Amino acid sequence: MHEYSFALELVRLLREIAERYGAGRITRARVRVGKLKQIVPSLLVPCVEVVAAEDPLLRGLVLEVEEEEIVYRCADCGLEFNASLGDLRAACPRCGSGSTELVAGDEVTLICVEAEEVEEDTGPQG
């Protein structure tokens, strides 16, 4: 299950972001996962929840996952078209050319991170 490995890496990245920007607890993150990555959102979310629960900066994190379609562009006619997971190097549906280039569906993108502000300690009140 590579969802767990991905969850570990995502939590590491979110912690790094929180530390770099001096954020409080990260409450929400949204990622877009290309279908070619073959990461199952319904498996990824609980993996991230388990890993994040171990870190005070990420405890209670809500992860939103968007799936990105597989999109090719025809080198001959320029048409961009969706393809299914089994259509590696899909032929263009308009002109039939096999000269196509993958333009979307193989990336993972961190879209949004929300965090609580760090409350500054003003010292003893008196």
Per-residue pLDDT of the chain (126 residues; tens, 9 = 90+): 689 999 999 999 999 999 999 999 999 999 999 999 999 999 999 999 999 999 999 999 999 999 999 999 999 999 999 998 887 668 999 999 999 999 999 999 999 999 998 776 555 655
- Which residues is 26 bridged to in the sheet? 115
Phi–psi pair at 84, nearest 5 degrees? -95, 170
Question: Biggest alpha carbon distance in the chain?
Answer: 78
CA distance 73 to 90: 10
Find the helix or strand (DSSP H, E) in which 28 lies. Answer: strand 26-34
Question: Domains in the chain and their CATH numbers?
Answer: 2-70+104-115 (3.30.2320.50)
Contact 11, 52 (CB under 8 A): yes
pTM for this model (two decimals): 0.82
Position of tokens 């263009």? 92
- For 12, the 3-state DSSP assignment is helix
